[in-house]
Structure 1
Amino acid sequence: MKRTLALVITCLVVLSFNVRPPVKKPLFAVQTCTFHHWSFLESIDKADSLGIKYLEVYPGQAVGGGIPGAFTYTLDADARAKLKDYLKYKKTKVIALGVVDKYYYTRENLEQYFKFCRDMQIPFMTAEPEPGDLDLFNSLGLKYKIKVALHSHPRPESHYWHPDSAVKAMKGRAMIGAWPDIGHWARNGANVVDGLKKMQGKLWGMHFKDIEAFDKVEAVDVVFGKGVCNLPAVVAELKRQGFTGVITMEYEANDWNNMQDMRGNKKYCDSLFNAVYH
């Protein structure tokens, strides 16, 4: 009996060493700009139908549902409470607000965006600060415990269109990290995988997309896997880094009738990430 018990214990110990813990994967979100012809509340429902429970919401999107105004700091307490209740009901979380750039913020109203994020329990603000405002963003991030993640719109307007400029802006600023748009990187002629390598350690999220042509600012979005962004190489680099941040899917084509394409994009992401993160 003792020999049998010892054998069972030995087998259990061996099995416990052979059982691998589940691999932590990135969170999948959708940028509601994908659904900019619809309201924020409608975007929640669209994302839910895709099986996506995280949103990055741009601050100009109309709320909808009879609630006046846009999803931004000007919403009153009653509107915010209603949105919190609906998000809870849908088991959905706003993971980021953005992109907050010069078209939305001033030095006078910037703190209101941080207060709004704190109140709505939004952990990230994706942003393109004016270079002279980087320290202000960083200090407000520290004050409100909101991480500021640098986005990259196309050249020449964006201050952070090239990965090197974002690296320089992040240096020495603990609350400023990276949330690049890999499609815009490719439009700008920047190698996506090389750019991701430069962001290692402060890569908090990204806009995940594919485009038709490299080094062409006018290049349009295409369904994932059909363009030049080499998404398998991108995901392999993320796995190498141990990245478990936010993958924000964004699709800026066929925008009046994009749900079929988005279902394909989500299926592509599921397949690719499951194959690489295993």
Structure 2
Amino acid sequence: RIEAALPPTAPAKPLKPRKLLIFELNVGYGGHASIPTASCAFTLMGKRTGAFETVISRDPAVFAPESLKQFDAVFFNNTVGNCFEDPGLRQSLIEFVYGGGGLMGMHGTSVAFTRWTEGAKDDWPEFGCMLGARGANHTDANEPVLLKLEDPTNPMTAAFGGQDFEYRDEFFRFGEPYSRNRVRVLLSMDNERTAKLQEQEAVPKLREDDDYALAWVRNYGRGRVFYSTIAHNPRVFWDAKMLQFYLAAAQFALGDLPAPTVPSAKLTSAIRAQEKLGWRLGIEAYTFHKYTFFEAVDKTAELGLPYMGGLSFQKVSAEIPKNLDPQLTDDELKAIRLKLDSAGVRLLTYYIQDIPGDGPGCKQVFEFGRKLGIETFMSEPAPAALDTVEWFCDQYDIKVALHNHDQKGSPVYWRPENILEVCKGRSKRLGSCGDMGYWMRSGIDPVEAVRTLKDRLLTIQMHDLNELTPDSHDVPWGTGVGKTEAFLKEIYALGIQPVMFGLEYSYDWLDSMPECAESARFFDKVSLELAGENAR
């Protein structure tokens, strides 16, 4: 029956040979009957479509760093109970996902790493944060539910043809840390129609918000996370549409099927437009460098932005009065991960003045970046260090964007032409972090700079200025002399998708929230216009 339901092809062509670890261990619980069926279905799907190969294990030792690095994603297949307690293995899994690996969970995975025989007492709260929920509250194993397709244009849900549908399975209702501020909901329970289906006045109220999500995706750092509760009954895995859905989920987790992951609570028409353009707007921490990093995270969330950049000389928090830099301990990095997660904010970029040219020093910086899920360093390393930096860029899949100050502050990198020269023949993971403010103060037209740099423009620190003088200051985007709209339209015309459009407002340090909000609204307006053109 599984073979008859297998998708004939995968929704995406693998970028390279992929390997999926399927972990089946249950502790203190007998295990769901669907576990072997699911493992078989995923193995056959991978073989039939050529999308991936699978390795099935119940041995926690497979999560040791040297073992885990052979895989592109991990699938916790209905894993109930405290799968492993070794702190080193748990740290290995967190770093694997946060640094860019994939994680899939189904049904009982929402109570993985709990002490099941002690009332499912949570033994590893960060796993629940990473997955997106905890709990296993349900009615019966054959409950009829009307599933609402929350994100019909998402490639993850193509199997359902844009239509809500009725389904029967054991559906979990989740508690904390589930929140639409953390996850992008794909499927949820349509409460009103489910109540009618079940011939009730209303579905039981198990959450104050009556929000019963059933499947979602998210990023945890750079990690790609998918969860679905629909996996209790073996018959799920000989349902052709569900297998198509789960194949898409596997390819998302493995890194071959791009899908939008901005949390549902942060979605606006403008952010949907930016997703269509492949653009991401975030706050540069320098905007709020008079505050701690944690306070900057809160301000980013208050602005409704899902992304931000970090800063090496900013204090982390009142509780961690240290700079946000590679000297932080693993426990301190954990506190940062959890802070970002609770705010629904991702750290995409990070400014560090220098990256050492020696191997050990360079590795320390890149290890820090991996552990914090950073996609791009903004830095000004010595030209002699670039051979070493380039090697680590390719090893860690982390970009380095060469930052420009003025000619005095950045004698090598201040002009776009200079950056092209030092990057000639090098990895595409090396390029420019264009600081528009310094460009303009140095007499460089940002539009011409973009035309010069083209795809070497990796990330942008955006500014608009009141005048073109060395003493100018920031003003809200679109109100100054920076030709901000023309700049954005040129980026669009050239097909450039920077890692982040960094909102770096360098004025009124303690009271710039209104100007930041106005700048974000301007970016939204231009994004909506360009995305509409893109749709035509």
- TM interval, shorter chain, is 0.7 to 0.9
Among candidates 406, 414, 422, match of residue 154 of structure 1:
406
Find the counterpart in structure 1 of residue 142 from structure 2: none
1:105 to 1:227, Cα distance in 2 relative to 1, 3 A: farther
1:235 aligns with 2:488: yes
1:258 aligns with 2:516: no
Find the counterpart in structure 2 of residue 15 from structure 1: none
- Structure 2 unaligned runs (5+)? 1-274
Whole-Å separation in 2 of the counterparts to 1:54 and 1:28: 7
- Structure 1 unaligned runs (5+)? 1-21
Among candidates 487, 497, 502, match of residue 244 of structure 1:
497
Whole-Å separation in 1 of the counterparts to 2:384 and 2:466: 34
Residue 368 of structure 2 aligns to which amino acid in structure 1? Answer: F
Greater CA drift, 61-70 or 115-124: 61-70
Whole-Å separation in 1 of the counterparts to 2:356 and 2:519: 32
Contact kept in structure 2, 1:124 and 1:147, CA below 8 Å: yes
Find the counterpart in structure 2 of residue 277 from structure 1: 531
Deviation at 1:218, TM superposition (A): 2.6
In the TM superposition, 1:1-278 aligns within 5 A as 23-98=276-351, 100-102=352-354, 107=358, 109-158=361-410, 159-174=412-427, 175-214=429-468, 216-245=469-498, 246-278=500-532
Whole-Å separation in 1 of the counterparts to 2:472 and 2:382: 26
Deviation at 1:243, TM superposition (A): 2.2
Partner secondary structure for residue 133 of structure 1 = helix
* Structure of greater Rg: 2
Whole-Å separation in 1 of the counterparts to 2:320 and 2:521: 33
Residue 443 of structure 2 aligns to which amino acid in structure 1? Answer: G
Whole-Å separation in 2 of the counterparts to 1:217 and 1:130: 25
Contact kept in structure 2, 1:154 and 1:217, CA below 8 Å: no
Residue 209 of structure 1 aligns to which amino acid in structure 2? Answer: H
Deviation at 1:106, TM superposition (A): 6.8
Deviation by residue 1:36-84 (Cα, 9 ceiling, x = unmatched): 1110101000000101111111111100041231111111011111111
Find the counterpart in structure 1 of residue 50 from structure 2: none
Find the counterpart in structure 2 of residue 13 from structure 1: none
Partner secondary structure for residue 129 of structure 1 = coil
Deviation at 1:166, TM superposition (A): 1.0
Partner secondary structure for residue 404 of structure 2 = coil
Contact kept in structure 1, 2:356 and 2:385, CA below 8 Å: no
Deviation by residue 1:253-277 (Cα, 9 ceiling, x = unmatched): 0111111111111111111222233
Partner secondary structure for residue 322 of structure 2 = strand
Deviation at 1:251, TM superposition (A): 0.4
Residue 457 of structure 2 aligns to which amino acid in structure 1? Answer: L
Contact kept in structure 2, 1:206 and 1:248, CA below 8 Å: yes
Whole-Å separation in 1 of the counterparts to 2:445 and 2:497: 21
Contact kept in structure 1, 2:475 and 2:515, CA below 8 Å: no
Contact kept in structure 1, 2:315 and 2:324, CA below 8 Å: yes
Whole-Å separation in 2 of the counterparts to 1:79 and 1:182: 33
Deviation by residue 1:159-190 (Cα, 9 ceiling, x = unmatched): 21111011112211202022211121111111
Deviation by residue 1:61-113 (Cα, 9 ceiling, x = unmatched): 10004123111111101111111122122221110111x224x7574633211
Partner secondary structure for residue 154 of structure 1 = coil
1:51 to 1:200, Cα distance in 2 relative to 1, 3 A: same
Whole-Å separation in 2 of the counterparts to 1:217 and 1:163: 19
Q: What is the aligned residue count?
A: 254
Deviation by residue 1:111-145 (Cα, 9 ceiling, x = unmatched): 21111001111111111111222222111212222
Whole-Å separation in 2 of the counterparts to 1:229 and 1:189: 11
Whole-Å separation in 1 of the counterparts to 2:366 and 2:330: 16
Partner secondary structure for residue 316 of structure 2 = strand
Whole-Å separation in 1 of the counterparts to 2:398 and 2:509: 31
Whole-Å separation in 1 of the counterparts to 2:425 and 2:381: 16
Contact kept in structure 2, 1:235 and 1:276, CA below 8 Å: no
Tell me the percent identity.
25
Whole-Å separation in 1 of the counterparts to 2:383 and 2:471: 25
Whole-Å separation in 1 of the counterparts to 2:531 and 2:405: 28
Contact kept in structure 2, 1:40 and 1:63, CA below 8 Å: yes
Find the counterpart in structure 2 of residue 3 from structure 1: none
Contact kept in structure 1, 2:301 and 2:344, CA below 8 Å: no
Partner secondary structure for residue 275 of structure 1 = helix
Contact kept in structure 2, 1:31 and 1:56, CA below 8 Å: yes
- Aligned-pair Cα RMSD in Å: 1.7
Residue 208 of structure 1 aligns to which amino acid in structure 2? Answer: M
